[in-house]
């Protein structure tokens, strides 16, 4: 499993210390099983939501280049944990790195949505950018435990 790399790309930062601590803890746990990279891009400083979406999406598109990626999107496909683990297992078995993209506070442009290889919804509910990141790393960790047939330690 060590040849696989999981990357998480997002603009901005996690704004709450307790969410940052949880995020860091899961990233640390994941690193024991698979290579994981976190890429933080600068968020927009505009107060206008449309401008934020456009500026942050352009930065994401520029960074991603031709890279394949999975976009977390409330309107995306829903998966249960077993299906999510299968998605990661497929990457491992086919030696494909996996890149997850989480948009900023206001979301992403339609152009970025169209470029995504998969749009994945964590839930039909709406979460903050920071909580979405925490949920994503928790599910990656849980999936790695499933794939390696290890019990999930709570």
Residue 14 lies in a domain: yes
pTM of the full predicted structure? Answer: 0.93
Dihedral pair phi/psi, residue 150, rounded to 5°: -105, 150
Residue 18 lies in a domain: yes
Q: What is the pLDDT of residue 107?
A: 92
Say which DSSP state 107 is in: B
DSSP 2-55: TT-EEEEEEES----HHHHHHHHHHHHHHHTTSEEEEEEEPPP--S-HHHHHHH
Please tell me the distance from the alpha carbon of residue 32 to that of residue 10, in angstroms, as a whole number: 22
Taking CB atoms within 8 Å and a gap of at least 24, the contacts of 143-149 are 143/81, 143/84, 143/85, 143/87, 143/88, 143/89, 144/1, 144/30, 144/33, 144/34, 144/88, 146/81, 146/82, 146/85, 147/1, 147/85, 147/88, 147/89, 147/92, 148/1, 148/33
The CATH number given to whatever domain includes residue 130 is: 3.40.1280.10
Lowest-confidence pick of 2-11, 37-46, 68-77, 137-146: 2-11
> With 80 as the cut, is the pLDDT of residue 34 above it?
yes
Full residue range of the structural domain in which residue 92 is found: 5-147
Domain count, the chain: 1
Residue 152 lies in a domain: no
Q: Per-residue pLDDT tens for 46-92?
A: 999 999 999 999 999 999 999 999 999 989 999 999 999 999 999 88
Residue 2: pLDDT band with limits 50, 70, 90: low
Residue 154 lies in a domain: no
Residue 153 lies in a domain: no
Q: What average pLDDT does range 31-40 have in this prediction? A: 95
Q: Per-residue pLDDT tens for 87-136?
A: 999 988 888 899 999 999 899 999 999 999 999 999 999 899 899 999 99
């Amino acid at each position: 499993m060590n040849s696989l790399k999981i990357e998480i790309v997002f603009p901005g930062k996690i704004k709450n210390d307790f969410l940052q601590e949880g995020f860091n803890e899961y990233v640390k746990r994941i690193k024991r099983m698979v290579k994981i990279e976190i890429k933080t891009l600068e968020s927009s400083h505009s107060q206008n939501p449309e401008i934020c979406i456009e500026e942050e999406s352009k930065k994401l598109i520029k960074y991603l280049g031709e890279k394949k990626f999975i976009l977390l999107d409330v309107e995306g496909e829903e998966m249960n944990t077993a299906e999510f683990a299968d998605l990661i297992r497929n990457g491992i078995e086919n030696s494909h790195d996996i890149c997850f993209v989480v948009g900023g506070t206001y979301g992403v442009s339609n152009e970025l949505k169209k470029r995504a290889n998969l749009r994945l919804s964590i839930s039909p509910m709406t979460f903050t950018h920071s909580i979405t990141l925490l949920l994503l790393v928790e599910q990656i960790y849980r999936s790695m435990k499933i794939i390696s047939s290890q019990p999930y330690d709570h």
